[in-house]
Structure 1
Amino acid sequence: MSEETVPRTASRHDTPTAPGPAKAASRRGNRMVLALVLTLQTMLILDVNVVNIALPDLKAALGFSATGASWVLSSYLLAFGGLLLLGGRAGDVLGHRRGLMTGVAVFTAASLLGGLAGSAATLLAARALQGVGAALAAPTVLALIATHFPDEKARARALGLYAAVSGSGAAIGLVGGGLLTDWLSWRWVLFVNVPIGIALLIAAPVFLHETTRKPARFDLGGALTSTAGMSALVYGFIRAAESGWADPLTLTSFALAAVLLAVFVVVESRAEQPITPLRLLADRNRATGYLALLFVMAAGNAMFFFLTQFLQEVLGFTPIQAGLAFVPLALLILGASSVAARMLPRTGPRLLTAAGAAAISAGLVWFTRLTPEADYLSALLGPLLVAGLGMGTLLVGVTTVLMSGIAPKETGAASGLLNVMQQTGGALGLALMVTVFGAAARDAAEEVPAGLGTKAAADFVLTEGVTTAFAWGAGFTALTVLLTLLMRPAPVGHAGARAEAEGPE
């Protein structure tokens, strides 16, 4: 009896220190894992907007034209959005830690190159290379959260923090861009990534366990057609914003995108190991969730883009003042995300998504009342807070919808598609909003009230264009509310999650 008892007792004590990926990670280790992947996500997200406020200085230093300067943003988004599906598949096949480290290495080197750029061409090449690195690294974030946090409650909290940094990253980028440009130089909006990237490369092998590599061939046909198709689609919208919808190159880009994406669907439906399993879109909740995310990112990116212009060109804010104006928005996104993550087991993601979209739409409608005489405290702070509340709430809900019920072997593809919607939604939506802004501004230029001076007339035209763009953005987010009506009610997405919601907290 004693010989049987001793081994059983020893086994009981040994179990907590068994070296499995889920059980071996201590609470401190899990915090480090989460800190590492969220730092990466913050770096990638804020880099979309960190150059926004630095653009005036950057244009003067490198001789960009007004049209050319838009490519500082567009080149990053084109590469990022166009290659994300390939990045997601690469993580599944090669291992997510390896994918993260490869992407961070490319991103860090490109940031250094961009900071040292002496010409517009060099900077644009560096920004595109940053997008390549981001496309490799970004899909690993959600996949690593899924593999390192198998417990539903822990994963829900991790996803809440992920949503918080995703939602506030754009605002943090604007704040950081203003501070770095005012205090140092526009080059530091790129240099700042270098020490962060080096720290991530050092920490990743220590705190992240490598995920299981799936022996497989790359779906080259799917990778090429999806990358080329998404790049053509993004380029078509950006070209439309610059040269109009009737421009031959715009029409050619859209036609090419339609053909390539149609071929992509055919290739994926026949591939044995597709880069994007089409069954991910067969679920009604997930399909509507992807579309909802695209609409919200379109409205959100446009809001940041136009507000930075309004603050600096109409209200006369300095870059640092314009950046700090977004601090309340960032703080509320963080706070709302934390609260929404705690509410998630009880409310389910559908309600959070609808409530968040409604709040964003209300904030954008409020912004349509802006005038050239607007004051920050009375006219801007309120809608910023309402929009921040909505962003933090919605991102928790929609992220949970999209990442629930995913097979472990498809986490990379699923997170890659999620990030595709974030980037392409932002790029396509911004291009569309700029086109709306341009049309409204041209109409306003013909209706400038008599007696206005040159500066006042310019402020009137810009404000009319901005408020019209905000009205369209409100329409996009209102559509998101309607999309949630098509979702099936589901607390979190797993049976385990439902049990957790009924259990003690």
Structure 2
Amino acid sequence: MADDGLDPRRWAALALLCAANFMVILDSQIVLLALPSIERDLGFSGGGAQWVLSAYLLGFGGLMLLGGRTADLVGRRRTFLAGTTLFLVSSLLCGFAWTGGVLVGARVAQGISAALMAPSALSVVTAMFAEGTERNKALAIWSSVGGFGATAALLVGGTLTDALGWPWVFFLNVPVAMVLLALGPVLLSESRGRARAYDPVGALTVTLAVSAAVYGVVRAPETGWTSASTLGALGVAVVAGAVFVRVETRSAAPLVPLQIFRSRRLTGGNLVMLLTAVGAFGTSLAVSQYAQGVLGYSPLEFGLATAVLPVMAVVGSYAAQAMIGRVDVRPVAMTGMAFMAAGCLALGQVSENSGYVTGLLPGLFLFGLGLGSSAVAAAVAALSGATERDSGLASGLNTAAFQLGGALGVAVASTVAVSRAGAVPGFRAAFDTSAGIALAGVAIAGLLLARPRRRRVPEPVGVTMSKEESTCGT
């Protein structure tokens, strides 16, 4: 340990964990451009290939909170390495899949592994860096890598599919996972929260609630938002969620201590993160379909044309990190969401004859800048009040918000795009819808991310908030 009490390996460990974050986020969308090839080779029918994308979201989103709490209880490094091992095995199985059913099952396992890796990795970052400027910088790096992974997936997936075939979008994970398993025990220190028993009923009900919600959302574009399957799944999610809340209020060792939501910043940060992901995934999908379906871009041409998006996301994340220390998270989050809205409105002006410079470039530039800024501000707000004991849970909540937002964004964009007569009007409507969602994020950030007032009161025992947030009436 360094003289200041911080682990001297923390920056090298951050680089390793960011590599894991990149791969986990990348795998959420990397198969998008490979789906036609997968459908042809494995004989999917009736749109079944879409489940190659949805199965990952189900496993990831459904077990995210359980993965975060598991990291707190059994050890963050141990959970991360276990998830990485499963990620390696499931990626190999995906690449070698001989039937559609095997691939979908392997993608569920891959999503489960991501649900163990992502929150445990983020909780290690939170534990290794002291709250304040250094942690904000670490979270900016983490968020920029995540934003880059979400937007670079289309470039990487298209390029690999064109050059080597669709199995390589999964084989790409294998060498990265091997490096993570080799260096993880060397660079990562074990940490955990205060030992507590599992809450099996809470784990079951929250997993059922989130999985049913994700299932209903990803099925909605295919079956309709008012179909029996969609409404039934969302109804199960509501009932299971209500049971979960009741169980947690009575449990001596709850999976999610509900008092954690007394922090307006934690709640607001997660809501902003969810809306950021809705915009990121929905806009990426609409841009991809417009550029390839209307403008006739190849997957490689599309990836090169949209490279400005991940680059500006990185720029925005570092700008946000620098500004948070000066003006706090609220104005940074509001500005980031406003830039996202402006980018979507600019993209909403495209036509059948739009060129790259006048059509796509301005919107992608503004959207990427806002995406990076809002993601960093949301992460800092959501994690800044977490104690060491509950950093895994807080990380799980934040990552779950991003993944649920991603699933919702894809579903909403798909639904809106096909609801209008003609491809271009549908894409315009999808971009305008994303703009409205981003503007809602501006309002939420303004209401919930205000700087807490300092009061000289004792810190509540057992509440997972910082002293600044021990009173949450602000």
TM-score band, normalised by shorter chain = over 0.9
- In structure 2, the residue matched to 1:482 is 443
Report the CA distance shift for 1:487/1:280 in structure 2 as closer, same or farther (over 3 A): same
1:42 aligns with 2:3: no
Alignment counterpart, residue 293 of structure 2, candidates 313, 324, 331: 313
Q: How many residue pairs were aligned?
A: 458
Give 1:330 deviation, angstroms.
0.7
8 Å CA contact 1:94, 1:214 repeated in 2: no
Letter paired with 2:433? W
How far apart are the structure 2 equivalents of 1:372 and 1:65? 30
How far apart are the structure 1 equivalents of 2:192 and 2:394? 17
1:382 aligns with 2:343: no
Alignment counterpart, residue 84 of structure 2, candidates 92, 101, 104: 104
- In structure 2, the residue matched to 1:447 is none
SS of corresponding position for 2:451: coil
How far apart are the structure 1 equivalents of 2:333 and 2:312? 16
Give 1:432 deviation, angstroms.
2.5
Report the CA distance shift for 1:17/1:477 in structure 2 as closer, same or farther (over 3 A): closer
Report the CA distance shift for 1:77/1:462 in structure 2 as closer, same or farther (over 3 A): same
- In structure 1, the residue matched to 2:461 is none
Give 1:395 deviation, angstroms.
1.1
8 Å CA contact 2:193, 2:390 repeated in 1: no
Letter paired with 1:359? F
Larger radius of gyration: 1
8 Å CA contact 2:329, 2:449 repeated in 1: no
8 Å CA contact 1:82, 1:230 repeated in 2: yes
Alignment counterpart, residue 78 of structure 1, candidates 58, 75, 94: 58
Matches within 5 A, 1:5-20: none
How far apart are the structure 2 equivalents of 1:495 and 1:136? 29
Q: Mark the runs of 5 or more structure 1 residues left unpaired by the alignment.
A: 1-15, 445-460, 498-505
Report the CA distance shift for 1:60/1:210 in structure 2 as closer, same or farther (over 3 A): same
How far apart are the structure 1 equivalents of 2:410 and 2:88? 26
- In structure 1, the residue matched to 2:456 is none
How far apart are the structure 2 equivalents of 1:159 and 1:34? 10
SS of corresponding position for 2:195: coil
- In structure 2, the residue matched to 1:327 is 307
How far apart are the structure 2 equivalents of 1:240 and 1:408? 39
SS of corresponding position for 2:390: helix
Give 1:468 deviation, angstroms.
0.8
Give 1:151 deviation, angstroms.
5.4
Kindly indicate which of the two structures has a greater share of residues assigned to helix: 1
How far apart are the structure 2 equivalents of 1:414 and 1:30? 20
How far apart are the structure 1 equivalents of 2:128 and 2:410? 35
- In structure 2, the residue matched to 1:53 is 33
How far apart are the structure 2 equivalents of 1:179 and 1:407? 42
- In structure 1, the residue matched to 2:210 is 230
SS of corresponding position for 1:234: helix
8 Å CA contact 2:386, 2:466 repeated in 1: no
Letter paired with 1:170? A
- In structure 1, the residue matched to 2:137 is 157
**Cα deviations by residue, 1:79-138 (Å, 9 ceiling, x for unpaired):** 100100100010000100001001111111111000001111111011111000000111
Deviates most, 305-314 or 113-122: 305-314
**Cα deviations by residue, 1:339-378 (Å, 9 ceiling, x for unpaired):** 2212211011111100000000011111111111111121
- In structure 2, the residue matched to 1:294 is 274
1:195 aligns with 2:190: no
8 Å CA contact 1:345, 1:491 repeated in 2: no
8 Å CA contact 1:228, 1:257 repeated in 2: yes
8 Å CA contact 2:193, 2:388 repeated in 1: no
Letter paired with 2:130? P
SS of corresponding position for 1:54: helix
Give 1:256 deviation, angstroms.
1.0
- In structure 1, the residue matched to 2:262 is 282
Letter paired with 2:5? K
8 Å CA contact 1:180, 1:188 repeated in 2: yes
How far apart are the structure 2 equivalents of 1:495 and 1:271? 25
Report the CA distance shift for 1:103/1:264 in structure 2 as closer, same or farther (over 3 A): same
Letter paired with 1:469? A
How far apart are the structure 2 equivalents of 1:156 and 1:245? 39
Matches within 5 A, 1:56-135: 56-65=36-45, 67-135=47-115
Report the TM-score, using the length of structure 1 for normalisation: 0.87
1:470 aligns with 2:450: no
Give 1:383 deviation, angstroms.
0.4
Letter paired with 1:30? R
8 Å CA contact 2:269, 2:380 repeated in 1: no
8 Å CA contact 2:381, 2:449 repeated in 1: no
8 Å CA contact 2:416, 2:429 repeated in 1: yes
8 Å CA contact 1:312, 1:322 repeated in 2: yes
Letter paired with 2:187? F
Report the CA distance shift for 1:219/1:377 in structure 2 as closer, same or farther (over 3 A): same
Letter paired with 1:56? P
How far apart are the structure 1 equivalents of 2:468 and 2:149? 31
Letter paired with 1:466? F
- In structure 2, the residue matched to 1:23 is 5
Report the CA distance shift for 1:94/1:311 in structure 2 as closer, same or farther (over 3 A): same
SS of corresponding position for 1:56: helix
Report the TM-score, using the length of structure 2 for normalisation: 0.93
Letter paired with 1:297? A
SS of corresponding position for 2:437: helix
- In structure 1, the residue matched to 2:462 is none
8 Å CA contact 2:272, 2:374 repeated in 1: no
